[in-house]
Structure 1
Amino acid sequence: MIFTDLDGTLIDHHTYAAGPALAALDACRAAGVAIVPCSSKTLAEMRALARDLALAPAPLLVENGSMAWFPSTWPVLPTGIETLPDGPDGCRVVLGTGADALRAVLPRVARRVGRTLRPLADMSLDEVVARTGLSPGVASLAMAREYSQPFLMDQDDVALATLDGAAREAGARITRGGRFFHLVGPTDKGAAVALVRATCRAGHRALGLGDAPNDLPLLHAVDDAVIVPRPDGSPHPDVVRALPGARVAPHPGPAGWGAMVLDWLARTSAWR
């Protein structure tokens, strides 16, 4: 199976299109390889994207691993952890913290680091559209946070480790994606990936692809890790340092994603 980040990885950082990856997506369908998106996106955003890309029913890992959604057709559901019904087509496993509780944590982090932290929730729809390039309809889905608080910092001079340390004092965590910092509960993408992998048959092999520091837990939780370069063609140095043994895709975004997925399929028994 494949666990993948979305923005800047499976879909283009600027256009949000997956065009160069479509052939690899077709090959995954033909090989019966499940594709599990794992992103900072909301469940509403992911549902729409899974529909647009015709992804086979598979778990959706949302808001940086804060919640795992399982389709009703998934063969095995997690054991030993509460599952919440989510309509007739699936269920949720909440790993993180509600957005309202996290909203109360953000001012404490701001005071601790001496910076102004501006949450996405305080931005207008027009501003979110301007900052992200999303359509108004998709931007509204991105703003409908249930388990995280994306934010911007007035000065980009505080190390991520310092921000995260301040959040951990309040029982939360901070990671960084392509555009925003993300305040989440005591979870990450790796915890969500591990939850899904525990429902799979023994001996399965998992590929992971990501481009940013918030993807590091995901990449550590798979068998084969691929770093997708940023739009300028260079891989993120923090990700490279943390994963010196990972392969680096030859191109940014979906072009690199497609090339590495096709190569991985050719190397695995799933493809043969």
Structure 2
Amino acid sequence: MTAPDASEAHAEREQAVTDKVLGSFADTPDARHRELFEALVRHAHAFVRETRLTEAEWEAAIGFLTRCGHITDDRRQEFILLSDVLGLSMQTITVNEPDEPRATEQTVFGPFFAEGAPEIEVGGDAAQGAAGQPCWVSGTVTDVDGTPVAGAEIDVWEADDDGMYDVQHGDGRVTGRARLRSADDGRYSFWCVTPTPYPIPHDGPVGDLLTAAGRSPMRASHLHFMVTAPGMHRLVTHIFVRGDDHQDSDAVFGVKDSLVVDFVEHPAGETAPDGSTPDVAWSQADFDIVLAPEETA
């Protein structure tokens, strides 16, 4: 019988480590926990073996994750940024998205949502004092058969003209976010500011990762939506400004063609859909929202 050569023996020792770790989870009481633990071990060990990861590289990775933890606070979530720039957020969304082609597509949640947004009426002001060009956004909320959804809860939030969300300013302001409900006929509308491109926070470890990869931290111009209604799958999505230079290189891979819409420019003094006459130039976007039924999620 021929003895295994050195490389085969080494591969067997490596596999033995993986097998031993997998075996340690054999008695995990919860079946789903066991599935997740074992898959994590298999894929993580395979990564180490495929890349022939060095001990120095592993120590650097631990240091990177430690830095992510240290920079995270109640206004900044570095681990969400890391998930976003690695495409893990979008992949998780894609895996869990309802299998309903008529529904509005989902995209990343992002790290800047905050509970307790001001409640506004249909046609109200979601900008709440955020700097930027006024923008009128309107549309309908329906189910996949076109039936209007009355009373759908719509959260909207966005960065200001300086590329900053209110929570990033650190002074307690609440701007660029609001919550409203669709009318009986499913219609909704509000004023906000025209979205502009901005960089994700890149002064920390995630920024170092992007620099090492030669990637841009820029996000394409967008406005966030989260829409919920009884019996419907929760929708988390954006709308993107058509023509933005960063749509093909969005740092978090969030752009989908169906979510790119026209923002039509209007001159100062032109009458807006709500009857007002803004004294500055303003824009207008239409976005119809289609919700999937909960059972298709």
Q: TM-score range by the shorter chain?
A: under 0.3
Greater fraction of residues in helix:
1
Based on CA coordinates, which of the two structures has the bigger radius of gyration?
2
Q: TM-score, normalised by structure 2?
A: 0.25
